Amino acid sequence: MNDSQDLAGRFRTNHDIIVAARQNMKQAEWDYVSGAAETETSLRRNRQALDSLAFRPRVLRDVSAVDTSVEFLGHKMALPVFLAPMGGLQRIDPDGAVAVDNAAEEFGVVNFVSTVTDPDLDVTAANSPHPKAFQIYVRGDDQWLRDLVRQVKKAGYSMVALTVDLAYYGNRERLNPSQMALRDVAHRTWQKRVTWDTVKMIQDELDGIPFMLKGIQTGEDAMLAVEQGVEVVYISNHGGRQLDYVQGNIETLPEIVAAVGGKAKIIIDGGFTRGTDILKAMCLGADAVAIGRLQAWGLAAAGAAGVARVLEILKSEIEISMGLLGVSHVDQLDANYVTPGKPVRFPHEMSAFPHLPIDRFE
């Protein structure tokens, strides 16, 4: 039996992945990945919003060949799934961003590389030839930012994202005191100065490389992004880690789709842990979904192979659900396939996995 078959035997579902991740992660790392800000209402609303959508399946259609692939800005992807930018991956696996990059290369998706994860952007860029995106946290003045963008361009990244919801570090009370102290690191103050002028400056430096804004949560800001010529609107509330009591991300998707009016691509993250979650976003107009916590749990469970296994499981879930919805390709999905529905479970970061004893995953 080869390693891939062995891993598939150990991890039949993402339930199994999460159990292994919890066993392998220290409490501080578990809290860093799984926690959120203050009451963690934003985190739970992400999940509740997904659980508040029901499907309207169609029948008697030929779904003998289901295709989960998509094209995003000219790049073919095996799934409409990005591996979201995550800082501190080296705390979960010593290979950090390279491990995630290896999984993306193996499976055929695009991964984000964060400003604040190891190894550095040049090492990760050189690791594999597939397209990847770079995510910027502003940690210096305008010249620092120009120099970073030039470095990113030289390294050959295919897309660049600026995170715009981090003017202040969220009050993440689940973190231990040493982690909470990171809120007060001096270089974080530069993020408070980010404005639409910063966006224009980065666009000028990128000179045509597709540019995303990550952290959009309203139709108003999505419209401003389109007016500024931003190619991708990335809907995110930072996994609930920033402002508490915001809407669940998929609740904001329809207004943002309307505001964008087809003039930009749309990525969304926040609580997406099931193939059905991803299809709900596609029905409502997203072009792709990014996974963060699920990616980290896969990395903690089994390194690069664990992340690849997460993607394999998602692909299987998507294929089965597409067939049962009566569609053979993602582009056939639209809002007619979903309708409001009442959640049946209390929202929690683990509520998509009913076979997990939640009290073991605090």
The span from the CA of 79 to the CA of 286, in Å, is 13
Is 238 marked active-site?
A: yes
Whose CA is closest to 206, among 133, 267, 129?
133
Residue 141: how many other CB atoms lie within 10 Å: 11
Residues 6+ apart with CB under 8 A from 273: 14, 291, 293, 294, 352, 353
Whose CA is closest to 92, among 362, 297, 310?
297
Cis ω before 119 (30° cut-off from 0): yes
Residues 6+ apart with CB under 8 A from 195: none
Phi, psi of 336 (to 5 degrees): -70, -15
List the catalytic residue out of 75, 187, 238, 329. Answer: 238
Q: Which residues are catalytic?
A: 238
